[in-house]
Amino acid sequence: MKTLGDIRELRSGIWWLICLRLVAVAGVIIATVVARDLKLQTNFTGLYITTAVLLAYNVFFAVLLHHSRGINALRVIANLQIFLDFMSLTILLHFSGGIESPFKLYYVFHTIISAILLSRWEATIQTGLAIVMIGALILMEHAGLLGHWSLGIIPLERMTHPNLYVFSRLFVLTSALLLALYMTISVTERSRQKNVELSTIREQLTRHELPRGEEDILREEKLSSLGRMAAGIVMIGALILTVILTNVELALEDLDPKSPTHESLQIVNDEVIRCRNIISQLLTFARGEGIGRKLCDAGAILKNAAALIRNYATLNQVSIDMQVPPEPLHCRVNENQIMQLLFNVMLNGIQAMSKGGTLKVAVAACGDQCVSFTIEDTGHGIPRSIISKIFDPFFTTKKSGEGTGLGLSVCHRIVELHHGIIDVQSEEAKGTRFIIRLPYV
Amino acid sequence: MESGKMANQQTILVIDDQIAVCRSVEKVLQRQGYRVESFLNGREAMERIGTGGVDLIVSDLMMPERTGTDLLRQMHALGITIPLVIITGYAGIESSLESLGLGAMDYLPKPFTIAELRTSVQRALRGGRIDPSILPRPPRDTYAIRRQTWARRIGPSAVLVGVHPFRLHCCGAIQAVDLAHEKDEVVQGGCFGKLTADDSAVPAWLWSPVSGEVAAVNSQAIVNPGLLAADPYGQGWLMQLTPYDLDKDLKALVAISAA
């Protein structure tokens, strides 16, 4: 599948080839001048003409490329260039010693370049054509049908090498080209495969993220208003809590530690401190934490989150079925954020099971460098019509007053911050499964 | 024991646009014998500062007319060196880096416990009495979040970080050092560790000057906290980090070496 990225890649590849050709032309000119100085006898006219032709079609292609759009035009340009290059190289070969020419090696480079720029079949055909051209040239020289220009002091009009010499050299060159072709194709296929995987992952992330168009803008607005709202709430909260906390502590200082009033105020004090911890998590400016990621055990995090929600689950007649591997599962995450994430998803799961049920939670390694959390409920499921909206901030299916619609959007944000993927599978009246994959970064 | 005014002779200014906060902070500090004067806006506070006799300022950041950072900048421009502690309702890394970079002694997110407030005030007052010339000089190429923590490049991808001797003097003798672990990630302006000093149960938080991954931790410093005061820039280094973007981070820091 061709995307804008592919077009851009091909275009820049062709530009690179054009620049490379300029370098090659310079090289040929220098080599010719040196050959002249060394009084080597060869068809200088031929060399000059070849150089001029190379330059001419280089300019031609540069202009053509500038005015071309679309993947097909680019592919034609690329193929044409490669073919003409092979032809020029063959002519160059003819004027620089044929089978003895040191420039044989340039064929290998060119095969590699064609395998990088073109598709595997185009590259194979081009290399095949090149082999035919070289073969034809050499054999014609060998058979005396074509003159032979060697790079020697005494030019020979005819090639007088034994058959074995010619055929063995030809064989070596041909096999070298085919090997180079095969090798480059495998390497580029593999890297193309990786690119496809990467764009699939990116696509998956985008599916859950911002769709195109108006919804995009709307969601951005919601996100920023969410941010502002959170900031406002937090500031007011912090302010009020400051006054409460300081005055409660001052009162505690004055009271006899054994008095019941002291006990009550101490409870208030503890709750305010707890509230403060929640606020700092929301702001991610927590005392004592580096805010960054730490090496953690994913299993331990899941167990802690489950412990937090256990009471709520029992109250709602939900049992928790947990699967955690026996050995620690390392990941580099912000522990608080992941706990919050898992807690929110589990909360959603429990709330979906109005008549009770089982919440299955599990964590496992997914591949080499990745950890995967699964949270599955047997609740009412999510209708297809709204499943793409569940991560929108303020989106909620609960009755007013029961939920803010913020939980899952926060979860999505946390997954995003960790460069992970959150997937949801659901069937109405059957249940919902959340799969959260976090790479080990 | 430091010489200096007794607590009941020291004057502290509290600046916050919320009267309830001012009153609460007043009560907390008055109980310790300080003289406290409250102001609801920075302009009036500046006028009061101009008349002299102020030993410490406790100020909010978000205020109408003049913010806490405006105040810091103005004081810096006028060469006023009264120690200042920031208290703020919307704590964040950016504002903490900015405030500390402008010379604030401490950054206290609201809500704070009275122990935290008192310790901050105590340490800031001590800091105000320190003669900077007695502090060890930093070696070349050392940068710092003002007088909090320092960073020094020791290789293409290696930075040493530690605590500024000024901060150590504010806290007194260090009892324990707690730091992040190898492979943990730290963020510039985020906390990478804490010091427990014998002047208070409240730790002194250490804010990282650089963002990066922890490559090594100085276990010597953990075992023997005295190393920090003895050689804060040398043997008393705390962590070695692999920075993510040192050039970007350096823009928020101050070069503190003489050379």
ipTM of the prediction: 0.81
Q: Is A93 helix (H, G, I), strand (E, B) or coil?
A: helix
- Element of type H or E holding B144: strand B142-145
Rounded Cα distance between B117 and B202, Å, is: 9
Contact A241, B110 (CB under 8 A): yes
Residues contacting A207, CB < 8 A, separation 6+: A388
Neighbours of A193 (CB within 10 A): 10
Token pair recorded at residue A169:
């050299």
Inter-chain CB proximity A241 and B111 less than 8 Å:
yes
- Is residue A236 pLDDT above 70, yes or no? yes
B114 touches chain A (CB under 8 A): yes
Comparing alpha-carbon positions, the chain A residue that sits nearest to B192 is A290
The whole-angstrom distance between residue B128's C-alpha and the CA centroid of its chain comes to: 12
pLDDT more than 70, % of chain B: 96
Residues contacting B148, CB < 8 A, separation 6+: B100, B163, B164, B167, B206, B207, B209
Provide the pLDDT confidence category of residue A169 given band limits of 50, 70 and 90: confident
Inter-chain CB proximity A246 and B24 less than 8 Å:
yes
Extents of the domains making up chain A: 4-208, 215-283, 294-439
Residues contacting B100, CB < 8 A, separation 6+: B107, B145, B146, B148, B207
What pLDDT is attached to residue A232?
A: 74
Inter-chain CB proximity B117 and A246 less than 8 Å:
yes
Most confident of A62-71, A124-133, B85-94: A124-133
Q: pLDDT by residue (tens digit) across A111-123?
A: 888 888 888 888 8
B217 touches chain A (CB under 8 A): no
Amino acid, single-letter form, for residue B12: I
Please compute the mean of the pLDDT values over residues B91-114 and round it to a whole number.
88
Rounded Cα distance between B222 and B246, Å, is: 26
Fold observed for domain B134-255: OB fold (Dihydrolipoamide Acetyltransferase, E2P) (2.40.50)
Best residue of A245, A250, A268, A285 to probe chain B, by most B CBs closer than 10 Å: A285
Q: pLDDT by residue (tens digit) across A413-434?
A: 788 878 888 889 998 888 999 9
Inter-chain CB proximity B185 and A238 less than 8 Å:
no
What pLDDT is attached to residue A168?
A: 86
Check residues A398 and B65 and name the one with the higher pLDDT.
Answer: B65
Rounded Cα distance between A370 and A423, Å, is: 15
Residues contacting A110, CB < 8 A, separation 6+: A82, A85, A86, A89, A130
Best residue of B17, B24, B213 to probe chain A, by most A CBs closer than 10 Å: B24
Select the residue of A236, A283, A288 nearest B92 (Cβ to Cβ): A283
- Is residue B59 pLDDT above 90, yes or no? yes
Provide the pLDDT confidence category of residue B258 given band limits of 50, 70 and 90: low
CA distances from B95 to B89, B90, B249 (A): 11, 9, 15
Distance from the A237 Cα atom to the nearest Cα atom in chain B, whole angstroms: 8
Q: Which residues pair with A357 in a beta bridge?
A: A318
pLDDT more than 90, % of chain B: 58
Inter-chain CB proximity A287 and B109 less than 8 Å:
yes
Inter-chain CB proximity B110 and A238 less than 8 Å:
yes
Q: Which CATH superfamily hosts domain B7-129?
A: Response regulator (3.40.50.2300)
Comparing alpha-carbon positions, the chain B residue that sits nearest to A330 is B183
Residues contacting B239, CB < 8 A, separation 6+: B160, B161, B162, B179, B180, B186, B192, B193, B214, B215, B216, B217, B218
Comparing alpha-carbon positions, the chain A residue that sits nearest to B195 is A288
Provide the pLDDT confidence category of residue A197 given band limits of 50, 70 and 90: confident
Select the residue of B114, B183, B208 nearest A246 (Cβ to Cβ): B114
Residues contacting B223, CB < 8 A, separation 6+: none
What pLDDT is attached to residue A374?
A: 95
What pLDDT is attached to residue B2?
A: 44
Pairing type for strands B142-145 and B254-255 reads antiparallel
Residue B191: its chain A contacts at CB < 8 A? 286-291
- Element of type H or E holding A166: helix A163-208
Extents of the domains making up chain B: 7-129, 134-255
Provide the pLDDT confidence category of residue A288 given band limits of 50, 70 and 90: very low
Fold observed for domain A294-439: Heat Shock Protein 90 (3.30.565)
Q: pLDDT by residue (tens digit) across B114-138?
A: 999 999 999 999 999 988 888 889 9
Rounded Cα distance between B172 and B147, Å, is: 15
